[in-house]
Amino acid sequence: MTVNDIKHEGLKKWINDFAALTKPDSVYVCDGSKKEYDSLIDKMVSSGLAIRLNPDKKPGSVLFRSDPSDVARVEKRTYIASEKQEDAGPTNNWIEPHELKKTMTELYKGSMKGRTMYVIPFSMGPVGSEFSKIGVEITDSEYVVCNMIIMTRVGKKVLEQLGTDGYYVPCYHSVGKPLSKGESDNGIWPCADMEHKYIAHFPETREIWSYGSGYGGNALLGKKCLALRIATVLARDEGWLAEHMLILKLTSPEGKVRYITAAFPSACGKTNLAMLIPTIKDWKVETLSDDIAWLRFGSDGRLYAMAVETGFFGVAPGTSMKSNPNALISASKNTIFTNVGLTEDGDVWWEGIGYDAPGKLIDWHGKEWIQDKNNKDQAPAAHPNSRFTAPAVQCPTLAKEWDDPKGVPVSAILFGGRRPSTIPLVHMSRDWTHGTFLGSIVGSEVTAATLDVASGIRRDPMAMKPFIGYNAGDYFKHWLDVGKSAKDQSLLPKIFYVNWFRKTDDGKWLWPGYGDNSRVLKWIFECCEGTAKTVDTPIGIMPTVDAIDRPEGVTEDDMKALLSVDIDGWLKEVNDIRNNYYPQFGDHLPKELMDLLNNLESRLRAAK
């Protein structure tokens, strides 16, 4: 399609203006068809940017290797450019919007010379759903177009939905002019130097401007930029929630269905939980989303969650037939792999895939790599944040209602992170306000999904720290307001805090995780039914030690350790929240949360 085929005059002008600035060789409007996807992949294979995998091993699939500096989200270069700095809050980088636009306009000048400019009309959520949002991304990266085609609904239907004057979120993206080095012609994708990368959001005008990175979260602008950062702003103004949550469907042996959402920080197992195979008999888990959920009240007063993406952008390392067969099957064909190892017979390999490297590989740097199992310090063949982009419809456990335009009614919301100590396997909040408190204090060990964050435990409220598009204190207030706005408090989902990552003092996992997490889901289900065995504790409502079926290899003592309240550990937690964490929110911290912190401390002290 060409720009002249577009019937929306405003959109046409916006595209033409950006083309005049960036000076591409040509402009192409994406229709989202298979033919278009295939021809773009062919183009990238011919230019050496992509490697076609062996069609007997991975039909319809390709491998990309990024520039070594462009392998993850870059939080230090991500901005919420609100008019007032206070509105971006303490968890976001901020630059005055006019200044940032000036800097970025200079960078965009001529940045698409020698390339094609692609226009991607896309919908987050089913096209035509009153809850969906339309964006239009302009990019000079075929890699981005192909990933967007897998991850979102792209093309003609979206343009039809926009009509002649519909609203869309404008999203600019250019991989940028390589600045201090020559643009590589050896198959490594172009991107700009770190200090010229910008992932910018303008919340008042609802625009996204991205420059200098081709990596997923920085470049597929429907995902983190629109469906989370800009969507949180829309959600605040319109009374709903845009969250970093998987959605799963849990069916009991009696056939009763409960929908559960769960927010864990990046690379903490959302894809694994969403696709879990229960180890308890006759329970079933099905998948609706592995990363993002939009939640709003239905006319029946229940909170509904809608899946907004159409694919999985999953972390490859650690994904095996044992840990997550459904993810491997989802990525067994028609998949884009980024920064994994390549085998001699044209298949992919990564650390934790479940078998040794079959002979000599080419690693993610494009260099020969031979596995040395005696060398624990061997650099990995696959980058720790290497990814697969796979269509959701290939997931064997995809729930039939995954693309229901009204979403599914949620019974439980889980928060969690990687916490080797203190936080028990599971506890339930007393009500929505207490659940909001638990979400606000979630912390996790830092993973490889972001490039520039010091290791250790960091607070990651609602697993949204990198994705809240406004002041995080106001975001907590919005969560409280959503609870208050419920027609009937008893219909609100119950909120839980889970931790699959507890370790013993000598560093061994206390809980096997993966499929055995179904045992915790079963207790959560019983809490929703009102049949769970529970005990009230200073931190919230917990299972009795015998309430959760014990997996093989987990002793009763392990179970006691997993389900006891570590009073001293929690008092340290309270101290850290009070002195190092909450103060940054200043006046924006809702009083209710401070009251709950005080209440937690008194209960802990009383129990000591």
In the complex, the smallest distance separating the C-beta of residue 344 from ligand OXD, rounded to whole angstroms, is 30
In the complex, the smallest distance separating the C-beta of residue 237 from ligand OXD, rounded to whole angstroms, is 24
DSSP 543-596: E-TTSSPPPTT--HHHHHHHTS--HHHHHHHHHHIIIIIGGGGGGGS-HHHHHH
In the complex, the smallest distance separating the C-beta of residue 271 from Mn ion, rounded to whole angstroms, is 9
Q: Which of 91, 111, 266, 436 binds Mn ion (CB under 5 A)?
A: 266
Quick check: is 395 catalytic? Answer: no
Rounded distance, CA 401 to CA 128, Å?
16
Q: Which one, 227 or 554, has the nearer CB to Mn ion?
A: 227
- The binding site for ligand OXD (CB under 6 A) comprises 73, 216-217, 266, 291, 313, 449
Interacting partner of 313 out of Mn ion, ligand OXD, none (Cβ under 5 to 8 A depending on kind): ligand OXD
In the complex, the smallest distance separating the C-beta of residue 291 from Mn ion, rounded to whole angstroms, is 4
Burial class (CB in 10 A: 0-12, 13-18, 19+), 106: exposed
Q: Which one, 449 or 604, has the nearer CB to ligand OXD?
A: 449
Q: Which one, 463 or 510, has the nearer CB to Mn ion?
A: 463
Place of tokens 């002195």: 579
460 binds Mn ion (CB under 5 A): no
**Sign of the torsion angle spanned by Cα atoms 527, 529, 533, 537:** positive
Q: Which one, 217 or 417, has the nearer CB to ligand OXD?
A: 217
Scanning 285-293, 377-385, 465-473, 558-566 for contacts with Mn ion by CB under 5 A, the matching segment is: 285-293
Q: Which residues contact 552 (CB under 8 A, 6 or more apart)?
A: none
Q: Which one, 131 or 312, has the nearer CB to ligand OXD?
A: 312
Interacting partner of 351 out of Mn ion, ligand OXD, none (Cβ under 5 to 8 A depending on kind): none
Asked if residue 446 lies in contact with residue 456, where contact means CB atoms within 8 angstroms, the answer is yes
CA distances for 187 relative to 45, 126, 349, angstroms: 9, 35, 20
In the complex, the smallest distance separating the C-beta of residue 328 from Mn ion, rounded to whole angstroms, is 19
Interacting partner of 416 out of ligand OXD, Mn ion, none (Cβ under 5 to 8 A depending on kind): none
Asked if residue 30 lies in contact with residue 140, where contact means CB atoms within 8 angstroms, the answer is no
601 binds Mn ion (CB under 5 A): no
Interacting partner of 493 out of ligand OXD, Mn ion, none (Cβ under 5 to 8 A depending on kind): none
Among candidate residues 247, 188, 192, the one with its CA nearest the CA of residue 218: 192
Q: How far is CA 592 from the centre of its chain?
A: 28
Scanning 171-179, 192-200, 257-265, 266-274 for contacts with Mn ion by CB under 5 A, the matching segment is: 266-274
Scanning 46-54, 136-144, 250-258, 260-268 for contacts with Mn ion by CB under 5 A, the matching segment is: 260-268
Asked if residue 144 lies in contact with residue 219, where contact means CB atoms within 8 angstroms, the answer is yes
In the complex, the smallest distance separating the C-beta of residue 73 from ligand OXD, rounded to whole angstroms, is 5
Rounded distance, CA 195 to CA 173, Å?
16
Phi first, then psi, for residue 214 (nearest 5°) are -105, 0
Q: Which one, 216 or 222, has the nearer CB to ligand OXD?
A: 216
Residue whose beta carbon is closest to Mn ion: 291
Residue 560 sits at the vertex; the CA angle it makes with 557 and 563, to the nearest 5 degrees, is: 150
291 binds Mn ion (CB under 5 A): yes
In the complex, the smallest distance separating the C-beta of residue 313 from ligand OXD, rounded to whole angstroms, is 5
Rounded distance, CA 128 to CA 324, Å?
33
Q: Which one, 67 or 291, has the nearer CB to ligand OXD?
A: 291
Q: Which one, 266 or 319, has the nearer CB to ligand OXD?
A: 266
Using CB under 5 A as the criterion, what x/- string covers residues 114-133 for binding Mn ion? --------------------
Interacting partner of 70 out of ligand OXD, Mn ion, none (Cβ under 5 to 8 A depending on kind): none
Rounded distance, CA 466 to CA 444, Å?
13
Interacting partner of 289 out of Mn ion, ligand OXD, none (Cβ under 5 to 8 A depending on kind): none
Rounded distance, CA 77 to CA 56, Å?
41
Rounded distance, CA 401 to CA 373, Å?
44
Residue whose beta carbon is closest to ligand OXD: 266
In the complex, the smallest distance separating the C-beta of residue 55 from ligand OXD, rounded to whole angstroms, is 28
Out of 146, 268, 395, 527, the active site residue is 268
Rounded distance, CA 471 to CA 586, Å?
11
Token pair for 345 = 């017979």
536 sits in the region (left: phi over 0; alpha: psi -120 to 50; else beta) called beta
DSSP 343-412: ETTS-EE-TTSSS---S-EE-TTS-EE---TT-TTPPPSS-TT-EEEEEGGG-TTB-TTTT-TT-EEEEE
Any idea which residues carry the catalytic annotation? 268
Report the interface residues with Mn ion, using CB under 5 A: 266, 291
